[in-house]
Amino acid sequence: MELCDEVVIEPVRDRVGYRACERLQQEVWGFADVAVIPDHLIHMVTSAGGLLLGAFDGIGPGREMIGFTLSVVGLLAGTTLRHHSLMAAVRPDWQDRSIGYRLKCAQRERVLAQGIRIITWTFDPLESRNAHFNLNKLGGVVTEYLPNYFGELRDVRNRGIDTDRLLCQWHLDSPRAKGHLAGERPPALALGDLETINRTQRTATGLRAPAGFRPDLRAPNLLFEIPSDLQTVRRADLDLARTWRLEARRALGAYLDEGYLVTSLFRQGDRSFLVLEKASLAQVLERP
């Protein structure tokens, strides 16, 4: 059990906790019942070696679950044992208080204790906050682009747009992961230092829109601009969000197929860029 600032993070192994996880899924994503992972399936996951970690607002009766991570045991590339994180969520009124970071750190410790050294998960390539958290803070590395991975999702954050995802690998005891968790960061970038794969332009409403990309760049480090806030784009102009999705699919999919990895998120002013590196996964993991 981890206790930090009155927030308790611990494994959940009872049906009361499983039901609390159901409710939190609905609160965070706006899931209809059909999309919620139900308590009996969560029980099966944890019984088979998976892990549900809950974050609670204190100790004792009356406490509430304010966040969770849920992962299953599986294979990476058919041979390497891993945990695959299905979901991670923090209740809206507890966000931006490092609860998600604490949950991932606790998940890392528990998975390493099982003798497993990799956790994988997927995230939306256009969500800059997720990219910053997964790549810059945790030290994950994106290895693959997965077009429309989940098919149609009906929650409020994903409704109406294809569910393309990036596959993120977190190598738990690598120099990269340890360095990032210790707060080490690579040297700061400047926008003019690297070539940018895609071009963007401002619309009449002030949002940035894709304006084409170059498929022929071969520099060892490249940038790909993404929306600074995808959910703002979705609410204001769903067609524009769909255009961003197709542009990212074509461009990022092509460069990842060419052997690039996505290793960080770079921000300048109100603009956000994924950083791509032409390097082997082993090379990237050996750098703090």
Q: Is residue 120 part of a domain?
A: no
Please report, in tens digits, the pLDDT of each residue of the chain (288 residues total).
Answer: 555 568 999 999 999 999 999 999 988 887 766 578 899 999 999 999 999 999 999 888 889 999 999 999 999 999 999 999 999 999 999 999 999 999 999 999 999 999 999 999 999 999 999 999 999 999 999 999 999 999 988 777 788 899 999 999 999 999 999 999 999 887 777 777 799 999 999 999 999 999 999 999 999 999 999 999 999 999 999 999 999 999 999 999 999 999 999 999 999 999 999 999 999 999 999 998
261 beta partners: 277
pLDDT of residue 5: 60
Give residues with Cβ within 8 angstroms of 71, minimum separation 6.
50, 51, 83, 84, 85, 86, 107, 111, 119, 121
Give residues with Cβ within 8 angstroms of 17, minimum separation 6.
52, 54, 65
Indicate if 1 and 96 belong to the same structural domain: yes
Give residues with Cβ within 8 angstroms of 25, minimum separation 6.
31, 35, 36, 37, 87, 89
Asked if residues 280 and 166 have their Cβ atoms less than 8 Å apart, the reply is no
Q: Is residue 78 part of a domain?
A: no
Q: How many domains does the chain have?
A: 2
pLDDT of residue 2: 56
Q: Is residue 115 part of a domain?
A: no
Q: Is residue 135 part of a domain?
A: no
pLDDT of residue 56: 96
Domain that holds residue 57: 1-70+87-107
Decide: helix, strand or coil at residue 206.
Answer: coil
CATH number at residue 37: 3.40.630.30
Q: Is residue 247 part of a domain?
A: yes
Give residues with Cβ within 8 angstroms of 188, minimum separation 6.
none
Q: Is residue 170 part of a domain?
A: no
Q: Is residue 251 part of a domain?
A: yes
pLDDT of residue 31: 74
Q: Is residue 3 part of a domain?
A: yes
pLDDT of residue 33: 67
